[in-house]
């Protein structure tokens, strides 16, 4: 049986570090409040020459290098993002151009913070049909451009960055085992961001300002914990797996309290969960691939390890995935 397996990972974080103390000078907040409510201590903020696609390209170069794959060998490039600089062309086409990946077709997907997990599922289907395909999947975000820096409810949470994987078909037991993905569009208004295409001439000036991330934090928190728990439990039962079988869990990094609740409900020991939210905050679609790259490069993954991914984001979108490393 052929599965899509990761053969290289990479990530790229902007240079500028914004600490909670720095945020105290921007909005009425405190290091103590942010740390205790979210676990976030710093986040990275992109400069004008660290655009979404530039972060994506750097992460991709590192993943390609690890995989030993040349850009012109790529068949497909998918970028998961909700914060591209341009609506058209896609971020993926800009990445294709900068990499010189002239043989690939390229497009973006949007499933908010679940974008990378949805992307892995999609790539698995392509590779299932054509196992020799070489695919570059990237999660890249520049959410600092899309938060309202006078709204303390949101601006403390998000950060910028990109993570990438190169995948191809393997028949040696490695790769994606299965996924469990969900959406509920009826809850869209609890977490959303208007796009510039909403800013038509018929809108008033005040409404044009309204393209920032909007969030009902408490509701999102409640749904996120329950939805990820259910998505994980279902998938594990389907494959007759228990917590003991897992080597590492790589969740979307939104908030340490969400992760702590999830670990408690699933009976997951802390040393089986990769957590870097304190350093980067919530980087939406980039959070899982950044964490995967850090776990990989720090030697925490060995061939055949059973990995579990889970995510939750705007839409709402959520899900889980099992993978043999
Ligand atoms: N600094 C200080 N005070 C703040 C603050 C900040 N940065 N942000 C909000 N507050 C205040 C509120 O104004 C409110 O004050 P009030 O009681 O005087 O009205 C108080 O803190 C409590 O606000 P509330 O929103 O109820 O806090 P909370 O305990 O729910 O924590 C979040 C807020 C956002 C940290 C929490 O709801 C959360 O983590 N939600 C999930 C968010 C998330 O992960 N989204 C992405 C999912 S992909």
Domain boundaries, the chain: 3-171, 177-324
**49: closest CA among 57, 60, 38?**
57
Q: Which homologous superfamily does the CATH classification assign to the domain defined by 177-324?
A: Thiolase/Chalcone synthase (3.40.47.10)
CA of 153 to the centre of ligand 1 (A): 5
Q: For ligand 1, pick from 218, 223, 283, 287 the residue to mutate: most ligand atoms within 8 Å of CB.
A: 218
CA of 306 to the centre of ligand 1 (A): 35
Q: CATH: 3.90.550.10, 3.40.50.300, 3.40.47.10, 1.10.3660.10. Which one for 3-171?
A: 3.40.47.10
Whether residue 153 has its Cβ less than 6 Å from ligand 1: yes
Give Cβ neighbours of residue 280 (< 8 Å, ≥ 6 apart).
Answer: 13, 42, 43, 44, 159, 161, 253, 287, 290
**What is the distance between the alpha carbons of residues 197 and 89, in angstroms, rounded to a whole number?**
14
Q: How much is the pLDDT for 174?
A: 95
Q: Contact 13/40 with Cβ under 8 angstroms?
A: no
Q: How much is the pLDDT for 198?
A: 59
The two tokens of residue 235 are: 């998938």
Same CATH fold assignment for domains 3-171 and 177-324: yes
**39: closest CA among 245, 242, 231, 261?**
261
Q: How much is the pLDDT for 207?
A: 59
Q: Which residues of 48-78 are buried (b: 16+ CB within 10 A; e: fewer)?
A: eebbbbbbbbbbbbbbbebbebebeebbbbb
CA of 144 to the centre of ligand 1 (A): 18
Q: How much is the pLDDT for 202?
A: 62
Q: How much is the pLDDT for 210?
A: 74
Name the DSSP class of 322: E
Instruction: Encode the chain (325 residues) as per-residue pLDDT tens digits.
Output: 899 999 999 999 999 999 999 999 999 999 999 999 999 999 999 999 999 999 999 999 999 999 999 999 999 999 999 999 999 999 999 999 999 999 999 999 999 999 999 999 999 999 999 999 999 999 999 999 999 999 999 999 999 999 999 999 999 999 999 999 999 999 999 999 987 665 566 666 555 567 899 999 999 999 999 999 999 999 999 999 999 999 999 999 999 999 999 999 999 999 999 999 999 999 999 999 999 999 999 999 999 999 999 999 999 999 999 999 9
* pTM assigned to the model: 0.96
């Amino acid at each position: 049986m052929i599965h899509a397996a990761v053969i290289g990972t990479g990530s790229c974080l902007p240079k500028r570090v914004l600490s909670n103390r720095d945020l105290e000078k921007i909005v009425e907040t405190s290091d103590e409040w942010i740390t205790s409510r979210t676990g976030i201590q710093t986040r990275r903020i992109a400069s004008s020459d660290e655009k979404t696609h530039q972060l994506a390209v750097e992460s991709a170069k590192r993943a390609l290098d690890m995989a030993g794959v040349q850009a012109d060998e790529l068949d497909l490039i998918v970028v998961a993002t909700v914060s591209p600089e341009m609506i058209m062309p896609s971020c993926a086409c800009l990445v294709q151009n900068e990499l010189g990946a002239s043989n690939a077709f390229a497009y973006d997907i949007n499933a908010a913070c679940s974008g990378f997990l949805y992307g892995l599922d999609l790539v698995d289907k392509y590779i299932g049909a054509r196992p020799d395909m070489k695919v570059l999947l990237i999660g890249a975000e520049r959410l600092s451009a899309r938060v309202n820096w006078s709204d303390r409810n949101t601006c403390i949470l998000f950060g910028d960055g990109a993570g990438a994987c190169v995948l191809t078909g393997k028949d040696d037991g490695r790769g994606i085992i299965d996924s469990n993905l969900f959406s509920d569009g009826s809850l869209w208004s609890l977490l959303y961001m208007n796009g510039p295409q909403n800013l038509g001439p018929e809108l008033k000036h005040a409404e044009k300002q309204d393209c920032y991330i909007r969030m009902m934090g408490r509701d999102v928190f409640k749904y996120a914990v329950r939805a990820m728990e259910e998505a994980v439990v279902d998938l594990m039962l389907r494959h007759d797996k228990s917590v003991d079988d897992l080597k590492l869990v790589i969740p979307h990094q939104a908030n340490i309290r969400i992760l702590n609740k999830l670990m408690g409900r699933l009976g997951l020991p802390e040393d089986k969960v990769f957590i870097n939210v304190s350093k980067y905050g919530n980087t939406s679609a980039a959070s899982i691939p950044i964490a995967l790259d850090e776990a990989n490069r720090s030697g925490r993954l060995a061939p055949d390890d059973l990995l579990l991914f889970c995510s939750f984001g705007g839409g709402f979108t959520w899900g889980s995935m099992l993978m043999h490393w």
